Homo-oligomer: A and B are copies of this chain.
Amino acid sequence: MLKLIAEDYIDPAKIEFVLPLYEELVEKTRQEPGCISYELCQDLKNPGHFVFIEAWKDYDALDAHVASEHFQRLVPQIDAYTVGEARFTHLEKRF
């Protein structure tokens, strides 16, 4: 299993525009066969900071996610509202 934390920094003034895009991305991603879990959280101290907490069967599942129609269509639209570099942390569960 591969765990991934993906962090976006969205312009706080544009959050209302990005939420429906995120909602669709989460809904469609959860239907992917290789997706174990996929949650979108929002930083309570910094509303523009969005954090995906993800679990994938393996790297192939993550690659398929990135190649999916919904990812390819939605992520560029979401990125238009970002104000900082995304941060990706690939993790292995230890305990």
Contact = CB atoms under 8 A, between A and B. Distances in A.
A45 B95 contact: no
Size range of the chain A interface in the assembly: 20 to 34
Contact of A22 (B26, B51, B95): B95
Nearest to A47: B92
How many protomers of this protein does the assembly include? 2
Contacts of A91: 41-44, 51
A94 B48 CA distance: 13
Contacts of A50: 94
A6 to B, nearest CB: 12
Interface of A: 3, 5, 19, 22-23, 26-27, 39-45, 49-51, 53, 89-95
